[in-house]
Amino acid sequence: MKTRLIIILLFLLVGYQEVKAQTGIRLGWNYPEMHDISSDRNSGFHAGFYKKIKLLGLLGVEPGIQYSQKGGEIDDMGTKGVERLHYIDVPVLVRLGFLPLINVFAGPQASFLVARKYEGVTDISSINELSKVDFGGVVGVGVNLPLGFNVQGSYDFAFSDLNYNDMDTKNRLFKLSIGKTF
């Protein structure tokens, strides 16, 4: 029902205009943390594809799919353990341009846990005890560069609990990206 409503709203927004869509690639650096538990940040990366759909003037929609590393450093019985969570993120962003150069964006994101690697007192690779789907949001700002290149900074935040050791824990991360639209 919600999907149909979104499709109808997008159709109404676009009207009878020709929809201009471009495909792009994006990669960058993640600075994640596991919020609400004792966690220091550790770096990761993300990479994927997006489809930039121009709607009205400087308004557009950008669905995408990307691989993203999340997690953090955790105090594991007095020693540091490193938790690396591997996700497939599916964001649907709405972009609003200010001038042709700068844009802000926000939107929902579904993240699917595909792998895990914990290195600490014991090594763990099972994802069975963690939530497999993580719903959240993305907000950020981007800059369009010449030749179809772009850079952006964003903040991803989860609404869903990871169920990490029966604690209320959520993924949070800052991302810096470079992209190329074709």
pTM for the model: 0.85
**Residue 11 forms part of a structural domain:** no
Amino acid identity, position 158: A
Residue 8 lies in a domain: no
Number of folded domains that form the chain: 1
Domain assignment present for residue 12? The answer is no
H helices, E strands: number in the chain = 1, 9
Residue 164, in any domain of the structure? yes
> Is residue 138 domain-resident?
yes
DSSP bridge partners of 102: 98, 143
Provide the CATH number for the domain around residue 101: 2.40.160.20
The residues pairing with 87 across neighbouring beta strands, listed in sequence order, are 68, 113
Q: Is residue 7 part of a domain?
A: no
pLDDT at residue 16, rounded to an integer: 44
pLDDT digits (tens, 9 = 90+) for 109-124: 999 999 999 888 778 7
pLDDT in tens, 50-72: 999 998 888 999 999 999 999 88
* pLDDT(78) > 90: no
Does residue 10 form part of some domain? no
Domain housing 142? 19-181
Tokens 């042709």, residue?
100
In a domain, 31, yes or no: yes
Tell me how far apart the alpha carbons of residues 171 and 167 are, in angstroms, rounded to a whole number.
13
Q: How far apart are CA 176 and CA 154, in angstroms?
A: 7
Hey, what are 156's tokens?
């991803």
Q: Is 4 helix (H, G, I), strand (E, B) or coil?
A: helix
